[in-house]
Structure 1
Amino acid sequence: MTRTLLRPTGFVDNPFGHDGKVARLAGGLLFFASVEAIRLDDTNRVAVRELWPVEIIEDRFDEDMAQQWQRLTAPRPSLKLGDNTITLDQPRVMGIINATPDSFSDGGSFEDFDAACFAGADMVGAGASILDIGGESTRPGAQTVWEGDEIERVSSIVERLVKGGNAVSIDTRKAAVMEAALGLGAHLVNDVSALGWDERSMEVVANAGVPVVLMHAQGDPQTMQENPHYDDVLVDIWLWLEDRIAKVEEAGIDRANVIIDPGIGFGKTLAHNLQLINGLALFHSLGCPILFGASRKRMIGALSNEAPADQRLAGSLALAIAAANQGAQIIRVHDVPETVQALRVWRGLRDQALTPPRA
């Protein structure tokens, strides 16, 4: 069976005076006037790309497209993370705390317990909605960490930050680490392997009933940057995520608890990353919130005279705003105060655009 995927495009400032000609993206602050209809052949390769105006689109729907359309336009439910309710009608910031000696951008900065906890408090004070705590680097070439060491690195930090009333995510691909962190009150699992690295991880998340981030990666950290290849990176990853969501649903995980991440920099070339960011709105048709993580990543250095990781703030902000302009609901970053400020300015622009004109 051939399929047609729907990518929102033709974004407009506001819906005023455009009844029936624009649609709201995922219940957020963006409105679009057209979609790129990506027609696939029976091998799931792109056959034709067309632009369809929103005003005539429903006349062309088959059942599959109708479901995509419903998912594109339906508001995303709020995340209930402990005592914190995080609405997803605008971009939210997730602050990164790497309790590792070898993370690509801040290795060693938060190995110390107090330093990590103070950093988390500072991030929340600056406007972060979620804190993402990890004990294993997944940068290109990183080696696997024994689960016992990973648990030791993150447990006390998770426990302290949870007791402080913060919304806490555990960044791991290991079921034992998930269990340890969830047992200490962590509220969300962020897995770069989309629950595929550890055969027990789906069961752990299903039993806990917590939200989970399913991230796409081609290969593992040791090999993922060795000549990554796609027929069409946007379509291939959309189809992969669609299949992954179906598999976790079969394992008992509620689709309403699934967040998706296209995995910028994980088994992608610079060109792949740029294509994904430009086409990010396509992933809304899967019906799940989108997490976007490009903070300080290598692609920024590749576009700016090989700037080192600690000199990539401006590029990180540019990518965060690009993601907001495609409707991403969660932006995962190292530099929380600067990103929050940038997004507040972005929100001010959107609020003004969405203020009805005076008669």
Structure 2
Amino acid sequence: MSLLRLGSRTITPARPAVMAVINRTPDSFYSGARTLDDNLAQDAVQMAIDEGADIIDIGGVRAGYGDAISAAEEILRVAGFVEWVRDSYPDVLISIDTWRSEVADAAASGGANLINDTWAGHDPLLIEVAAAHRIGIVCSHTGHLPPRTDPHRMRYGRSTRGVLDDVLVTLKESASRAIRAGIDPASILVDPTHDFGKNTRHGLLLLKHTEEIVALGYPVLMALSRKDFVGETLGLDKPEQRLEGSLAATAVAAWQGALVFRSHDVLATRQVLDMVASIKGDRQPSRSVRGLA
């Protein structure tokens, strides 16, 4: 099992990490995550930390289709807020969700510990930013799609496991590039990146074979929360309906060794991860008095 090292913190299987979603946008696909307003965003951070978040993931642009947002506007949305989180919560880990190196640089200068590159190195300078600031990076897989595009009839060969093989090769190569750039291997996360460049059956296959992604030897990030593959699997059109499916997917991935979980629902995810870790023997129960009194 790989460990994750960010700043002075180490994430271990005894306490897999919850990465709380803080979207500095007015148009996130999930209405509960729209926190462009400073007061809403600050309250969301406080709640996430109170509920057990280990990492605060701050993004300034909706992942999918939407209004064009310049790099300058993205920086205005996130850089100052990263500084506020760092000043207000010195011990919390901060992630910046961006595909742009200039945004990542501004956030890293303000105290971010991790670059969450959900668009698979579209900007090759992101790795250099992470190396220069001596922070971590997420290596993702999008089937070579450019930022903010939805998948359409994505194909990964004729094999039933074609998408899995493509994910494994891509993540291994991306992580190797990050190491060559000087990033600590223990600060590199790999993410199969559900829904990005994938259909629902692709997402289910990747989840089923999480242990093969874990076997690459890097900490695995799973971003499953309320996504379309959950909704389509269960016939639920609205993201607001997808909590239970997201938690089931979380438990499956955690059992197979994924270490970090990006979530809109911190408390529920924290409890799922703690329960799975205890069943596996990686975490002791909070108390064990039943039948002893």
- What TM-score do the two structures reach when normalised by structure 2? 0.88
Match status 1:343 vs 2:267: no
Name the aligned partner's letter for residue 274 of structure 2. Answer: R
Name which of 161, 169, 175 aligns with 2:101.
Answer: 175
Alignment of 1:256-267 (within 5 A): 256-267=186-197
Alignment of 1:232-247 (within 5 A): 232-247=162-177
* Counterpart Cα distance in 1 of 2:85 and 2:284: 37
SS in 2 for 1:332: strand
Residue in 2 aligned with 1:228? 154
SS in 1 for 2:189: strand
* Counterpart Cα distance in 2 of 1:308 and 1:321: 22
Deviation at 1:283, TM superposition (A): 1.3
Deviation at 1:256, TM superposition (A): 2.6
Alpha-carbon contact 1:96-1:332 (below 8 Å) kept: yes
Deviation at 1:136, TM superposition (A): 0.9
Alpha-carbon contact 2:113-2:136 (below 8 Å) kept: yes
Deviation at 1:85, TM superposition (A): 4.1
* Counterpart Cα distance in 2 of 1:109 and 1:126: 19
Residue in 2 aligned with 1:67? none
Alpha-carbon contact 1:261-1:291 (below 8 Å) kept: yes
Name the aligned partner's letter for residue 134 of structure 1. Answer: G
Name the aligned partner's letter for residue 173 of structure 1. Answer: W
* Counterpart Cα distance in 2 of 1:290 and 1:78: 9
Which of 1 and 2 has higher RCO (CA within 8 Å, sep 6+)? 2
Name the aligned partner's letter for residue 189 of structure 1. Answer: I
Alignment of 1:82-101 (within 5 A): 84-101=9-26
Match status 1:315 vs 2:241: no
* Counterpart Cα distance in 2 of 1:353 and 1:254: 26
Deviation at 1:121, TM superposition (A): 1.3
Deviation at 1:234, TM superposition (A): 0.9
* Counterpart Cα distance in 2 of 1:124 and 1:333: 13
Alignment of 1:315-334 (within 5 A): 315-334=245-264
Alpha-carbon contact 2:61-2:74 (below 8 Å) kept: yes
SS in 1 for 2:63: coil
Aligned length: 278
* Counterpart Cα distance in 2 of 1:345 and 1:107: 25
Deviation at 1:334, TM superposition (A): 0.3
The structure with the greater share of residues assigned to strand is 1
Deviation at 1:352, TM superposition (A): 9.2
Residue in 2 aligned with 1:106? 31
* Counterpart Cα distance in 1 of 2:207 and 2:164: 9
Deviation at 1:145, TM superposition (A): 2.1
Deviation at 1:354, TM superposition (A): 8.8
Over 3 Å counting, the alpha-carbon distance change for 1:149 and 1:215 in structure 2 is: same
Match status 1:187 vs 2:117: no
Alpha-carbon contact 2:16-2:273 (below 8 Å) kept: yes
* Counterpart Cα distance in 2 of 1:94 and 1:342: 14
Match status 1:215 vs 2:145: no
Residue in 2 aligned with 1:132? 57
* Counterpart Cα distance in 2 of 1:255 and 1:285: 14
Over 3 Å counting, the alpha-carbon distance change for 1:237 and 1:352 in structure 2 is: closer
Residue in 2 aligned with 1:154? 78
For structure 1, the residue ranges without an aligned partner over 5 or more in a row are 1-25, 27-75
* Counterpart Cα distance in 2 of 1:200 and 1:297: 28
Task: Calculate percent identity across the aligned residue pairs.
Answer: 35
* Counterpart Cα distance in 2 of 1:146 and 1:121: 28
Deviations 1:73-106 (A, max 9, x none): xxx234233x544334442111100111121113
Deviation at 1:246, TM superposition (A): 2.1
* Counterpart Cα distance in 2 of 1:105 and 1:354: 34
Residue in 1 aligned with 2:127? 202
Deviation at 1:261, TM superposition (A): 0.1
SS in 2 for 1:295: coil
Alpha-carbon contact 1:97-1:133 (below 8 Å) kept: yes
Q: What RMSD, in angstroms, separates the aligned Cα atoms of the two structures?
A: 2.1
- What TM-score do the two structures reach when normalised by structure 1? 0.73
SS in 2 for 1:268: coil
* Counterpart Cα distance in 2 of 1:233 and 1:182: 32
* Counterpart Cα distance in 2 of 1:286 and 1:349: 24
SS in 2 for 1:128: coil
Over 3 Å counting, the alpha-carbon distance change for 1:351 and 1:116 in structure 2 is: same
* Counterpart Cα distance in 2 of 1:184 and 1:353: 34
Match status 1:117 vs 2:47: no
Name the aligned partner's letter for residue 20 of structure 2. Answer: G
Alpha-carbon contact 1:170-1:189 (below 8 Å) kept: yes
Residue in 1 aligned with 2:290? none
